[in-house]
Amino acid sequence: MVRVYFDTQHLYYLPQYLPVAKKLIKAGVNCIFNLYPECGFDRLKKRELENANIPFNYIDSPKNAHLFYQQNQSDWVIFGNRPQFDHLEKSRIKAKLALVQHGIGPKSCYYDVSEFPFDVRFVEGQQRLQRLQSRFSDATFVDTGYAKLDPLFDNSPAPMTLSDLGLDENKPTILYAPTFYPSSIEHFNAQLPNQLRGYNIIVKPHYFSFVKDKYAAQRALFEQWNKSDHVHVTDVEDYNLLPYMQLSDVMLSDASSAIFEYAALNKPVVWCDFYQTRWSYRGLLKFRLKNRLDPDIELFHQLCLRAKSPKEVPAAIRSVLKDPSKLEQQRLQITQDMVGATDGKCGDRICKYIIANS
């Protein structure tokens, strides 16, 4: 029997992995998730995998993963990011190594991760495929689309309603999904709910905003917003963005891959083109921010209505909801280029490749 390990370094890798694992299991493949100690969230990962009837192991540290994969044979190991071990260790592992990248955002790490010699990387869209091939000519890339989004396109129902979140079913709903850094969060203040009083607001922070000490100020602001009756701030355990994408009418975000994901639903996005940066990314050192963000972020000018400051956000929200079809053709084209197929069958394509090359 074909055996596949899923190297699950972080909780938020699960939405990327599960659509693929379910297809492999249905095809008779033995799938095992390898988990790592992570800020007390092992219980949650265990619960999610038990609910999906998927077996799992624990590895004490990502840096020791190469020892596990040397000693425990499989046909494939699937990663959501660059492995923590050196590329020279790869030759000691008999399994083939694949990358299902954990995000499709505009950060340079999306491309840089392919410096590691994976046996194959599953890619989202022809434009990204061509760019990766031009940069890493000896590597193998396969355009399968972004499997994380399969549940949005395979007729899977939303697992919750606005009423379940304590929100008004009759109000339009904003999904604010910022990244942790560089982020727009710190440029807002406690008055944001009052400025958007006529809407439901779902705030879905990045996982790192919850768990890293350096983002305590972000958490304090979330607590203030959550006191408003038309605001729902998700918890760290609500790691999957997809249900909130289904419930909302417009997204508000910044330098997050969530913008590409949401645009794939052909829904409008307001781009917060203002960021809190550390002193080490300012002035003469601002080149560091430019290096962190890939030129792909320029596509946000085509995909979104841009807000250059927090003061512009309410008017931008009103504008896109008044005419949600504006920028539709741009959304459809950029989705084709940067996200790939949206037919709900991306996991199937990855599954077929894995089995055919085992």
Residues 6+ apart with CB under 8 A from 308: 273, 274
Measured between alpha carbons, how far is 188 from 204 in angstroms, rounded to an integer?
15
pLDDT of 269 strictly over 60: yes
Q: Where does 3-146+341-356 sit in CATH, by number? A: 3.40.50.2000
Instruction: Assess contact for 54 and 26: CB atoms under 8 A.
Output: no
pLDDT tens by residue, 248-264:
999 999 978 899 999 99
pLDDT of 288 strictly over 80: no
State the DSSP H helix or E strand holding residue 98, giving kind and residue range, or none if neither.
strand 96-100
pLDDT in the model for residue 280: 45
Which DSSP string corresponds to 170-219?
A: TS-EEEE---SSSBSGGGS-TTHHHHTTTSEEEE---HHHHH-GGGHHHH
Banded model confidence at residue 283, pLDDT cuts 50, 70, 90? very low
Asked whether the domain spanning 163-338 has the same topology as the one spanning 3-146+341-356, the reply is yes
Q: Is 46 exposed, middle or buried (0-12, 13-18, 19+ CB in 10 A)?
A: middle
Which DSSP string corresponds to 5-46?
A: EEEE-SGGGHHHHHHHHHHHHHTT-EEEEEE---TT-HHHHH
Residue ranges of domains in the chain: 3-146+341-356, 163-338
User: Is the dihedral angle over the CA atoms 178, 180, 181, 184 positive or is it negative?
Assistant: positive
Q: What is the pTM of this model?
A: 0.89
Domain 163-338 class, CATH top level: alpha beta
pLDDT of 315 strictly over 90: yes
Reduced to 3 states (helix: H, G, I; strand: E, B; else coil), residue 4 is strand
Kindly state the average pLDDT of the residues 333-352. Answer: 95
Tell me the average pLDDT of the chain. Answer: 90
Place of tokens 């800020």: 39
Place of tokens 């809407």: 199
Q: How far is CA 91 from CA 38, 70, 83, 254, 309, in A?
A: 28, 10, 13, 39, 50
pLDDT in the model for residue 92: 92
